[in-house]
Amino acid sequence: MENQCVKRWFNVQSVPADYSFSPKDRPGQLQIPLCDTIPVVDLQNATKSPERSSIVQEIFKAGQEYGFFQVINHGVPENVARDTFNVFKEFFDMSEEDKKCKDSQGWIYMGSTDYAKDGVHLWRDSVKHSCHPLEECMQRWPQKPTLYREVVEAYVEEMKRLSGRILELICEGLGLEAKYLEDLSQVQLLICNHYPRCPEPSLTLGLLKHCDPSLITILLQEGNACGLQVLNNGKWIGVAPLPNALVVNVGNQLEIISNGRLKSAEHRAVTNSYETRTSIATFINPCHNSIVEPAKVLVDESNPPRFAATIYKDFVYKSEISPDEATKPPKSLYS
């Protein structure tokens, strides 16, 4: 069976017109500075004193200034990450027919032809599915490649553990009790993004500028290509791919709960001409019925609430009727 999308991509010398974004959306300038100021936080000593308090401060400052940081020595075994990438690589190599899910409750595979903004497609294939409750969701994950469920389950378990640790550090930085975010972080959604090589990266995008509608997102990126860019003070900066690091970003829900102290930064994925890039995003989300609002202890007369309380599923609903809405920065009550 022919793989329409990939075949179309790999055989082209130039970008087809319907993959070329308008000058206002396309990256244009590819030589943006690789950022070495987005903090890389070493979690090795996160349980020790006095190291813990400087780790808490580093994360808080990163969340304030960039909305992004990376973590190393995070405890996710290298082989778990490697096996997960390998299984996704095998998945994307399958035929279009095998990648598509026939059950409306199952995983969602999107080839690049499914995406459009103003009639333009993203230079990306992706697969996504829910991971909570894990046992139940797994029954609706791909069964091909044969190791898919086993390998991705192990990865999701690691993400659950790590997100719990990171959220405790974030709570400490905000002055919230350690478990404040526990109930608001029970749901995981996984998306694997696959961006093939592109002959003219300055015209295309793997992902348009967006904010994540999550509480936080944990991203594993593979390879040497710098594909992730973050908007910081009006300028795009590249997040360096570091071996064995994970990228963590503040999502819209955490910006709201922190009453704007931490920021959900706009970001995008650019393509490159020399290697296929894969990233695995785990979105840590509240349950559908959770109420998301600025934490009471962060609000007083001099710090009035900057965001209205919302039921999380309203974000999901909004994103269903207008995908753009939920992925914009959260609406401040004052703007």
Ligand X SMILES: O=C(O)CCC(=O)C(=O)O
Distance, CA of 181 to CA of 189 (rounded, Å): 17
Cα angle for residues 334, 286, 77 (degrees, 5° grid): 120
Residue 310 interacting entry, from ligand X, Fe ion, none, C-beta within 5 to 8 Å by type: none
The site map against Fe ion for 170-209 (x = CB under 5 A) is: ----------------------------------------
Give the closest residue to 92 by CA, choosing from 116, 109, 113. Answer: 109
Map residues 200-219 to x or -, x wherever contact with ligand X holds by CB under 6 A.
-------x----x------x
The CB-of-300 to ligand X minimum distance in angstroms stands at: 34
Among 193, 232, 271, 290, binds ligand X (CB under 6 A): 193
Q: According to the binding rule CB under 6 A, does residue 188 interact with ligand X?
A: no
Task: Tell me which residue has tokens 């900066």.
Answer: 237
AA letter at 146: T
Could you say which residues in the range 263-282 bind ligand X, by CB under 6 A?
Answer: 267, 269, 279, 281
Peptide bond preceding 50 in cis form (omega within 30 of 0): yes
212 binds Fe ion (CB under 5 A): yes
Q: Is 255 in the site for Fe ion (CB under 5 A)?
A: no
Distance CA 190, CA 128 (A): 5
> How are beta strands 68-72 and 40-42 bridged, if at all?
parallel
DSSP annotation of 152: H
Q: Which of residues 8-67 bind Fe ion (CB under 5 A)?
A: none
- Quote the least distance from Cβ 176 to ligand X, whole Å: 25
Q: Which is nearer to ligand X, 141 or 195 (CB)?
A: 195
**Cβ closest to Fe ion, residue 125 vs residue 212:** 212
Residues 219-238 binding ligand X (CB under 6 A) are 219, 221, 227-228
Token pair 């690789």 in the structure block, residue: 34
Q: With helix as H, strand as E and coil as C, how does 223-248 read?
A: CCCCCEEEEECCEEEEECCCCCCEEE
Which of Fe ion, ligand X, none lies near 189, with the C-beta cut-off 5 to 8 A by kind? none
Contact at 8 Å (CB) between 5 and 112? yes
Based on DSSP, count helices (H) and strands (E) in the chain, helices before strands.
9, 15
* Beta carbon nearer to ligand X, 193 or 276: 193
- Identity of the residue, 71 or 207, whose beta carbon is nearer to ligand X in the bound complex: 207
Count Cα atoms within 13 angstroms, Cβ side, for 205.
22
- Shortest Cβ 328–Fe ion spacing (Å): 12
Dihedral-angle region of residue 51 (phi above 0 means left; psi in -120 to 50 means alpha; beta otherwise) = alpha
> Which residues of this protein are in contact with Fe ion, per CB under 5 A?
212
> Which residues of this protein are in contact with ligand X, per CB under 6 A?
191, 193, 207, 212, 219, 221, 227-228, 267, 269, 279, 281
